Amino acid sequence: MLFKVDKFVSENPFLKLIKLANYDRNRQFIKELCKSCSKKDTVIYYLYIGEEICGFVGISVNKIDNIPCLQVDYIYVKEEYRKSEFEELNQKRISEFLIFLCMEIGKDLQSKIGLRWLALIPDNNELEVFYIEYFKFTKYKTKNNIHILFISL
């Protein structure tokens, strides 16, 4: 299998991404992510095998309690690729590869715009445990009582 990474910066990728989702909840997240991308607030990186998109991540620069962050707005992997490890991705799952990609982008941006964290809000408790145990994310409660996870860049 040949994996390739590409990105959407300002074009609206809605039609390409919406057909990946099987559930209305995912479609709503994709719709909002694509709106943000078309406003140039978010960049969407997608990973595909051949011509098929198998997963993507939307990221944006944000401040959380005045701490400059690269924020993972949404991460999605097509169901048939979830929980599979791929030799071409150094025995990583697609979601893991996308998080490591975000970390690398954050480290690159850190030297240019002074980011300190990669931050995200996990979708459920299972993902929270995974991010904390596997990537060593730390829980943080914002001044607005929002719980996020972060990792220093």
Using CB atoms within 10 A of its CB, is residue 94 exposed (0-12), middle (13-18) or buried (19+)? buried
- Structural domains of the chain ordered from first start: 3-152 (3.40.630.30)
Compute the distance between CA of residue 97 and CA of residue 135 in angstroms, rounded to an integer: 11
pTM equals 0.91
Task: To the nearest 10°, report the CA torsion of 141, 142, 148, 153.
Answer: -110
Both structure tokens of 99: 């998080």
- Please report how many Cα atoms fall inside a 13 Å half-sphere around the Cα of residue 59, on the Cβ side: 22
Per-residue confidence (pLDDT) for residue 9, from 0 to 100: 72
**Mean pLDDT of residues grouped by 10 in the chain (153 residues)?**
80 83 90 90 92 94 96 95 93 95 96 94 93 96 95 96
Compute the distance between CA of residue 75 and CA of residue 115 in angstroms, rounded to an integer: 20
Of 68, 65, 55, 67, the C-alpha closest to 97 is 55
Per-residue confidence (pLDDT) for residue 23, from 0 to 100: 86
Compute the distance between CA of residue 94 and CA of residue 20 in angstroms, rounded to an integer: 15
Per-residue confidence (pLDDT) for residue 50, from 0 to 100: 86
Both structure tokens of 93: 């799952």
- Provide φ and ψ at 40, rounded to 5°: 70, 25
